[in-house]
Amino acid sequence: MTQKRIFSGIQSTGIPTLGSFLGAISNWEKLSAEYDCLFCVVDLHAITVRQNPETLRKYGREMLAWLIALGLNPEKNILYYQSHVPAHAELSWLLNCFAYMGELNRMTQFKVKSAKNEENINVGLYSYPVLQAADILLYRADLVPVGEDQRQHIELCRDIAGRFNKIYGDIFTIPEAYIPPVGAKIMSLQNPTEKMSKSDENVNSCVYLSDSPDAIIKKFKRAVTDSDNTVKFSQEKPGISNLLTIYACMTGKKIADCEAEFADAGYGAFKQAVGEAVAQNLAPYRDEHARIMSDIGELDAIAAKGAKKAAESAAETLAKVKKAIGFVV
Protein backbone atom coordinates (compact mmCIF):
# COMPACT_ATOMS: atom_id res chain seq x y z
CA MET A 1 0.00 0.00 0.00
CA THR A 2 1.32 3.44 -0.79
CA GLN A 3 1.44 5.87 2.10
CA LYS A 4 -0.67 8.99 2.13
CA ARG A 5 1.26 12.11 1.40
CA ILE A 6 1.57 15.14 3.63
CA PHE A 7 2.80 18.55 2.56
CA SER A 8 3.72 21.12 5.16
CA GLY A 9 4.98 24.66 4.58
CA ILE A 10 6.98 26.27 7.35
CA GLN A 11 7.56 30.00 7.66
CA SER A 12 11.20 30.81 8.31
CA THR A 13 10.76 34.24 9.81
CA GLY A 14 12.01 33.40 13.29
CA ILE A 15 13.15 30.80 15.76
CA PRO A 16 10.54 28.25 16.88
CA THR A 17 9.17 28.86 20.35
CA LEU A 18 8.20 26.57 23.20
CA GLY A 19 4.61 27.38 22.18
CA SER A 20 4.99 26.16 18.60
CA PHE A 21 7.05 23.21 19.80
CA LEU A 22 4.37 21.92 22.19
CA GLY A 23 1.46 23.06 20.04
CA ALA A 24 2.49 21.65 16.69
CA ILE A 25 6.08 20.69 16.05
CA SER A 26 6.15 17.82 18.52
CA ASN A 27 3.59 16.09 16.25
CA TRP A 28 5.79 16.17 13.18
CA GLU A 29 8.05 13.31 14.08
CA LYS A 30 4.98 11.11 14.59
CA LEU A 31 3.51 12.26 11.28
CA SER A 32 6.70 11.41 9.48
CA ALA A 33 6.53 7.83 10.73
CA GLU A 34 3.02 7.36 9.35
CA TYR A 35 3.04 9.39 6.16
CA ASP A 36 5.15 10.22 3.15
CA CYS A 37 6.11 13.80 4.09
CA LEU A 38 7.44 16.92 2.45
CA PHE A 39 8.53 19.76 4.73
CA CYS A 40 9.18 22.94 2.81
CA VAL A 41 10.72 26.11 4.22
CA VAL A 42 8.52 28.67 2.45
CA ASP A 43 11.01 31.41 1.67
CA LEU A 44 9.05 32.63 -1.37
CA HIS A 45 6.14 33.37 0.92
CA ALA A 46 8.48 35.17 3.32
CA ILE A 47 9.21 37.99 0.88
CA THR A 48 5.59 39.16 0.82
CA VAL A 49 6.83 41.34 3.66
CA ARG A 50 10.20 43.11 3.38
CA GLN A 51 13.15 40.98 4.44
CA ASN A 52 16.75 41.76 5.09
CA PRO A 53 18.79 39.50 2.74
CA GLU A 54 21.24 38.31 5.39
CA THR A 55 18.49 37.58 7.89
CA LEU A 56 16.34 35.78 5.34
CA ARG A 57 19.24 33.49 4.43
CA LYS A 58 20.19 32.92 8.05
CA TYR A 59 16.66 32.15 9.23
CA GLY A 60 16.06 29.84 6.27
CA ARG A 61 19.03 27.69 7.24
CA GLU A 62 18.20 27.94 10.92
CA MET A 63 14.70 26.63 10.27
CA LEU A 64 15.89 23.73 8.14
CA ALA A 65 18.36 22.85 10.90
CA TRP A 66 15.54 22.97 13.45
CA LEU A 67 13.42 20.59 11.40
CA ILE A 68 16.26 18.08 11.41
CA ALA A 69 17.19 18.69 15.05
CA LEU A 70 13.58 18.13 16.09
CA GLY A 71 13.63 14.67 14.60
CA LEU A 72 12.76 14.87 10.91
CA ASN A 73 15.13 12.51 9.20
CA PRO A 74 16.16 13.92 5.80
CA GLU A 75 16.60 10.41 4.42
CA LYS A 76 12.96 9.60 5.11
CA ASN A 77 11.35 12.99 4.54
CA ILE A 78 11.80 15.49 1.76
CA LEU A 79 13.18 18.65 3.39
CA TYR A 80 13.91 21.66 1.19
CA TYR A 81 13.62 25.38 0.45
CA GLN A 82 10.68 26.51 -1.66
CA SER A 83 12.92 28.86 -3.69
CA HIS A 84 15.04 25.88 -4.80
CA VAL A 85 12.20 24.32 -6.75
CA PRO A 86 11.07 26.67 -9.55
CA ALA A 87 7.91 24.62 -10.13
CA HIS A 88 6.28 26.38 -7.15
CA ALA A 89 6.49 29.78 -8.80
CA GLU A 90 5.53 28.34 -12.17
CA LEU A 91 2.39 26.55 -11.01
CA SER A 92 1.53 29.59 -8.93
CA TRP A 93 1.30 31.69 -12.10
CA LEU A 94 -0.88 29.13 -13.80
CA LEU A 95 -3.20 28.92 -10.79
CA ASN A 96 -3.42 32.72 -10.62
CA CYS A 97 -5.46 32.41 -13.80
CA PHE A 98 -7.91 30.12 -12.02
CA ALA A 99 -8.29 32.08 -8.77
CA TYR A 100 -10.80 34.89 -8.52
CA MET A 101 -10.12 38.29 -7.01
CA GLY A 102 -13.40 37.94 -5.16
CA GLU A 103 -11.99 34.87 -3.40
CA LEU A 104 -8.67 36.48 -2.52
CA ASN A 105 -10.43 39.60 -1.26
CA ARG A 106 -12.11 37.47 1.37
CA MET A 107 -8.91 36.01 2.84
CA THR A 108 -8.63 36.94 6.50
CA GLN A 109 -4.85 36.72 6.59
CA PHE A 110 -4.58 39.17 3.68
CA LYS A 111 -6.89 41.62 5.43
CA VAL A 112 -4.94 41.38 8.69
CA LYS A 113 -1.52 41.63 7.06
CA SER A 114 -2.48 44.51 4.81
CA ALA A 115 -3.89 46.42 7.76
CA LYS A 116 -0.54 45.96 9.52
CA ASN A 117 1.54 46.78 6.43
CA GLU A 118 -0.26 49.68 4.84
CA GLU A 119 2.86 50.98 3.13
CA ASN A 120 3.54 47.67 1.38
CA ILE A 121 0.36 45.94 0.24
CA ASN A 122 2.06 44.18 -2.65
CA VAL A 123 0.57 41.83 -5.23
CA GLY A 124 2.51 38.92 -3.71
CA LEU A 125 0.80 39.43 -0.38
CA TYR A 126 -2.51 39.32 -2.23
CA SER A 127 -1.79 36.14 -4.17
CA TYR A 128 0.01 34.47 -1.25
CA PRO A 129 -2.78 31.84 -0.94
CA VAL A 130 -2.40 30.93 -4.62
CA LEU A 131 1.29 30.15 -4.11
CA GLN A 132 0.27 28.11 -1.09
CA ALA A 133 -2.21 26.20 -3.27
CA ALA A 134 0.57 25.55 -5.77
CA ASP A 135 2.82 24.19 -2.99
CA ILE A 136 0.22 21.66 -2.01
CA LEU A 137 -1.12 20.68 -5.44
CA LEU A 138 2.32 20.16 -6.99
CA TYR A 139 2.92 17.16 -4.76
CA ARG A 140 -0.56 15.65 -4.93
CA ALA A 141 -0.71 15.94 -1.15
CA ASP A 142 -3.62 14.20 0.57
CA LEU A 143 -3.27 15.99 3.87
CA VAL A 144 -1.99 19.38 4.95
CA PRO A 145 -1.26 19.79 8.65
CA VAL A 146 -2.08 23.36 9.59
CA GLY A 147 -3.40 25.44 12.44
CA GLU A 148 -6.94 26.69 12.49
CA ASP A 149 -5.81 30.05 11.03
CA GLN A 150 -4.84 28.35 7.75
CA ARG A 151 -8.09 26.49 7.17
CA GLN A 152 -9.39 29.20 4.85
CA HIS A 153 -6.32 28.91 2.64
CA ILE A 154 -6.77 25.16 2.36
CA GLU A 155 -10.43 25.63 1.42
CA LEU A 156 -9.34 28.02 -1.32
CA CYS A 157 -6.79 25.49 -2.54
CA ARG A 158 -9.51 22.86 -2.75
CA ASP A 159 -11.77 25.25 -4.68
CA ILE A 160 -9.06 26.13 -7.18
CA ALA A 161 -8.13 22.45 -7.67
CA GLY A 162 -11.75 21.46 -8.10
CA ARG A 163 -12.35 24.25 -10.61
CA PHE A 164 -9.30 23.22 -12.61
CA ASN A 165 -10.26 19.55 -12.56
CA LYS A 166 -13.78 20.38 -13.73
CA ILE A 167 -12.38 22.04 -16.84
CA TYR A 168 -9.44 19.74 -17.61
CA GLY A 169 -10.18 16.40 -16.01
CA ASP A 170 -8.75 14.68 -13.02
CA ILE A 171 -5.37 16.44 -12.72
CA PHE A 172 -5.05 17.54 -9.10
CA THR A 173 -5.52 15.59 -5.89
CA ILE A 174 -7.97 17.49 -3.70
CA PRO A 175 -6.20 17.89 -0.35
CA GLU A 176 -7.67 18.00 3.11
CA ALA A 177 -6.67 20.15 6.03
CA TYR A 178 -5.29 17.96 8.77
CA ILE A 179 -5.65 19.53 12.17
CA PRO A 180 -3.54 17.16 14.27
CA PRO A 181 -4.77 16.07 17.70
CA VAL A 182 -4.54 19.32 19.59
CA GLY A 183 -1.22 19.96 21.15
CA ALA A 184 -1.16 22.12 24.22
CA LYS A 185 -1.90 25.80 23.83
CA ILE A 186 0.94 27.63 25.54
CA MET A 187 0.42 31.19 26.72
CA SER A 188 2.77 34.12 27.13
CA LEU A 189 4.82 34.02 30.34
CA GLN A 190 4.24 37.74 30.88
CA ASN A 191 0.64 38.01 29.78
CA PRO A 192 -0.87 34.55 30.27
CA THR A 193 -4.20 35.37 28.67
CA GLU A 194 -2.44 35.71 25.32
CA LYS A 195 -0.82 33.03 23.20
CA MET A 196 2.97 32.74 23.42
CA SER A 197 4.21 34.51 20.31
CA LYS A 198 7.61 35.23 18.83
CA SER A 199 6.37 38.66 17.76
CA ASP A 200 5.82 39.69 21.39
CA GLU A 201 7.95 42.70 22.23
CA ASN A 202 8.71 41.52 25.76
CA VAL A 203 11.50 38.92 25.40
CA ASN A 204 10.57 37.41 28.75
CA SER A 205 7.15 36.39 27.47
CA CYS A 206 8.46 33.82 25.06
CA VAL A 207 10.88 30.88 25.31
CA TYR A 208 12.80 30.17 22.12
CA LEU A 209 14.16 26.72 21.37
CA SER A 210 17.54 28.41 21.01
CA ASP A 211 17.50 29.88 24.56
CA SER A 212 20.27 28.68 26.88
CA PRO A 213 19.24 26.68 29.98
CA ASP A 214 20.12 29.71 32.13
CA ALA A 215 18.01 32.06 30.04
CA ILE A 216 15.09 29.63 30.17
CA ILE A 217 15.23 29.31 33.95
CA LYS A 218 15.39 33.10 34.30
CA LYS A 219 12.35 33.58 32.08
CA PHE A 220 10.35 31.14 34.19
CA LYS A 221 11.44 32.84 37.41
CA ARG A 222 10.01 36.07 36.02
CA ALA A 223 6.77 34.49 34.81
CA VAL A 224 3.68 36.44 35.81
CA THR A 225 1.44 34.55 38.23
CA ASP A 226 -0.91 35.80 40.96
CA SER A 227 -0.72 36.57 44.66
CA ASP A 228 -2.50 33.53 45.99
CA ASN A 229 0.48 31.18 46.23
CA THR A 230 -1.35 27.88 45.60
CA VAL A 231 -0.39 25.74 42.62
CA LYS A 232 -3.83 24.94 41.21
CA PHE A 233 -5.15 24.77 37.67
CA SER A 234 -8.07 27.15 37.27
CA GLN A 235 -9.49 29.79 34.95
CA GLU A 236 -8.86 32.47 37.54
CA LYS A 237 -5.18 31.56 37.60
CA PRO A 238 -4.06 31.78 33.96
CA GLY A 239 -0.37 32.18 34.81
CA ILE A 240 -0.16 29.18 37.13
CA SER A 241 -2.38 27.11 34.81
CA ASN A 242 -0.04 27.85 31.93
CA LEU A 243 2.99 26.80 33.99
CA LEU A 244 1.19 23.62 35.04
CA THR A 245 0.40 22.82 31.40
CA ILE A 246 4.02 23.32 30.45
CA TYR A 247 5.29 21.22 33.37
CA ALA A 248 2.82 18.43 32.55
CA CYS A 249 3.94 18.40 28.90
CA MET A 250 7.58 18.35 29.86
CA THR A 251 7.32 15.57 32.40
CA GLY A 252 4.50 13.54 30.84
CA LYS A 253 2.62 13.74 34.15
CA LYS A 254 -1.07 14.48 34.66
CA ILE A 255 -2.03 18.02 35.75
CA ALA A 256 -3.55 16.70 39.00
CA ASP A 257 -0.29 14.92 39.85
CA CYS A 258 1.65 18.09 39.16
CA GLU A 259 -0.65 20.03 41.48
CA ALA A 260 -0.10 17.42 44.19
CA GLU A 261 3.65 17.53 43.69
CA PHE A 262 3.70 21.28 44.41
CA ALA A 263 0.91 21.38 46.99
CA ASP A 264 3.31 22.47 49.72
CA ALA A 265 5.69 24.45 47.57
CA GLY A 266 5.58 28.19 47.05
CA TYR A 267 5.52 29.78 43.62
CA GLY A 268 9.27 30.37 43.71
CA ALA A 269 10.09 26.67 43.95
CA PHE A 270 7.38 25.76 41.44
CA LYS A 271 8.65 28.24 38.83
CA GLN A 272 12.20 27.02 39.36
CA ALA A 273 11.08 23.41 38.77
CA VAL A 274 9.17 24.30 35.60
CA GLY A 275 12.15 26.25 34.27
CA GLU A 276 14.49 23.36 34.97
CA ALA A 277 12.18 20.82 33.33
CA VAL A 278 11.93 22.95 30.19
CA ALA A 279 15.66 23.65 30.09
CA GLN A 280 16.45 19.96 30.48
CA ASN A 281 13.95 18.89 27.81
CA LEU A 282 15.04 21.40 25.22
CA ALA A 283 18.78 21.03 25.75
CA PRO A 284 19.26 17.99 23.47
CA TYR A 285 17.41 19.71 20.61
CA ARG A 286 19.42 22.88 21.09
CA ASP A 287 22.68 20.91 21.09
CA GLU A 288 21.67 18.99 18.00
CA HIS A 289 20.69 22.24 16.27
CA ALA A 290 24.10 23.74 17.11
CA ARG A 291 25.82 20.63 15.76
CA ILE A 292 23.91 20.85 12.48
CA MET A 293 24.56 24.59 12.14
CA SER A 294 28.27 24.01 12.64
CA ASP A 295 28.47 22.38 9.21
CA ILE A 296 26.63 24.63 6.75
CA GLY A 297 28.13 22.72 3.83
CA GLU A 298 26.44 19.54 5.00
CA LEU A 299 23.17 21.38 5.70
CA ASP A 300 23.17 22.89 2.22
CA ALA A 301 23.89 19.46 0.75
CA ILE A 302 20.84 18.06 2.56
CA ALA A 303 18.73 20.92 1.16
CA ALA A 304 20.05 20.31 -2.35
CA LYS A 305 19.15 16.62 -2.14
CA GLY A 306 15.70 17.48 -0.84
CA ALA A 307 15.12 19.99 -3.63
CA LYS A 308 16.14 17.41 -6.24
CA LYS A 309 13.64 14.86 -4.94
CA ALA A 310 10.92 17.52 -4.62
CA ALA A 311 11.58 18.82 -8.13
CA GLU A 312 11.24 15.34 -9.62
CA SER A 313 7.87 14.86 -8.01
CA ALA A 314 6.70 18.39 -8.90
CA ALA A 315 7.76 17.99 -12.53
CA GLU A 316 5.28 15.15 -13.05
CA THR A 317 2.35 17.28 -11.94
CA LEU A 318 3.51 20.34 -13.81
CA ALA A 319 3.87 18.38 -17.06
CA LYS A 320 0.31 17.06 -16.73
CA VAL A 321 -1.01 20.55 -16.01
CA LYS A 322 0.76 22.14 -18.97
CA LYS A 323 -0.40 19.46 -21.33
CA ALA A 324 -3.98 19.79 -20.10
CA ILE A 325 -3.97 23.57 -20.52
CA GLY A 326 -2.78 23.22 -24.10
CA PHE A 327 0.78 24.48 -24.13
CA VAL A 328 2.93 23.06 -26.90
CA VAL A 329 4.68 20.09 -25.35
195 is catalytic: yes
Residues whose CB is less than 8 angstroms from the CB of residue 139 and which lie 6 or more positions away in sequence, other chains included: 5, 7, 38, 310, 313, 314, 317
- 45 makes contact with ligand TRP (CB under 6 A): yes
Round to whole Å and give the CA distance between 54 and 60. 10
- 42 makes contact with ligand TRP (CB under 6 A): yes
Candidates 72, 56, 66; CA nearest to 287 is 66
Counting residues that bind ligand TRP (by CB under 6 A) gives 12
Among 22, 46, 72, 146, binds ligand TRP (CB under 6 A): 146
- 12 makes contact with ligand TRP (CB under 6 A): no
Q: Segment contacting ligand TRP (CB under 6 A): 5-13, 27-35, 227-235, 253-261?
A: 5-13
- 140 makes contact with ligand TRP (CB under 6 A): no
Shortest distance, position 91 Cβ to ligand TRP, whole Å: 12
- 8 makes contact with ligand TRP (CB under 6 A): yes
Question: Nearer Cβ to ligand TRP, position 1 or 123?
Answer: 123
Contacts of 106-111 with CB under 8 Å at 24 or more apart are 106/152, 107/152, 107/153, 107/156, 108/149, 108/152, 109/149, 109/152, 109/153
- 127 makes contact with ligand TRP (CB under 6 A): no
Residue 195: DSSP 8-state: B
Cβ contact 23:185 at 8 Å: yes
Q: What angle do CA 85, 89, 93 make, to 5 degrees?
A: 155
Q: Segment contacting ligand TRP (CB under 6 A): 4-12, 23-31, 184-192, 221-229?
A: 4-12
Among 7, 35, 80, 178, binds ligand TRP (CB under 6 A): 7
Residue 187: DSSP 8-state: B
Q: Segment contacting ligand TRP (CB under 6 A): 51-59, 90-98, 100-108, 143-151?
A: 143-151
- Which member of 4, 111, 113, 322 is catalytic? 113
Shortest distance, position 8 Cβ to ligand TRP, whole Å: 5
Cβ contact 257:218 at 8 Å: no
Give percent helix, percent strand, percent coil of the chain, each to the nearest 5: 60, 10, 35
Q: Segment contacting ligand TRP (CB under 6 A): 8-16, 89-97, 218-226, 262-270?
A: 8-16
Would you tell me which residues interact with ligand TRP (CB under 6 A)? 7-9, 11, 42, 45, 132, 135-136, 144, 146, 150
Catalytic residues: 113, 195, 198
